């Protein structure tokens, strides 16, 4: 689903008469707020799931083209664990 499809879906199901532009702004604010919560460490939504920040340690990898060893620096990533309700609905 693209952002455009999300906005159209919300407009179809919204109880209030909102324009696509208003819904687009609301979607931007919601995702921005969720991103900020994840940056602080964790965001949980009942019946959907939990987003957390995971740290990856530095490690040695291999360049697949040359076979030469390379150092991969430590990094952070976002992890998602689905709620049981979402998992069971799949």
pLDDT tens digits, residue range 62-80? 999 999 999 999 999 999 9
Could you tell me which of 48, 4, 50 has the C-alpha nearest to residue 27?
4
Q: Are residues 68 and 36 in the same domain?
A: no
Q: Are residues 55 and 31 in the same domain?
A: no
Domain assignment of residue 6, given as a range: 1-40
pLDDT tens-digit map of 4-63: 999 999 988 887 788 999 999 999 999 999 999 999 989 999 999 999 999 999 999 999
| The token pair that represents 33 in the structure block | 């707020």
Predicted pLDDT at 17: 86
Domain count, the chain: 2
Instruction: Give the Cα separation of 22 and 25 in Å (integer).
Output: 5
One domain for residues 55 and 33: no
Q: Are residues 52 and 73 in the same domain?
A: yes
């Amino acid at each position: 689903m693209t952002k455009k499809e999300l906005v159209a879906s919300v407009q179809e199901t919204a109880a209030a008469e909102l324009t696509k532009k208003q819904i687009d702004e609301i979607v931007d604010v919601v995702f921005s707020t969720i991103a900020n919560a994840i940056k602080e460490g964790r965001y949980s939504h009942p019946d959907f799931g939990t987003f957390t920040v995971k740290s990856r340690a530095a490690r040695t990898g291999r360049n697949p083209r040359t076979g030469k060893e390379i150092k991969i620096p430590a990094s952070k990533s976002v992890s998602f664990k689905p709620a049981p309700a979402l998992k069971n609905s799949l």
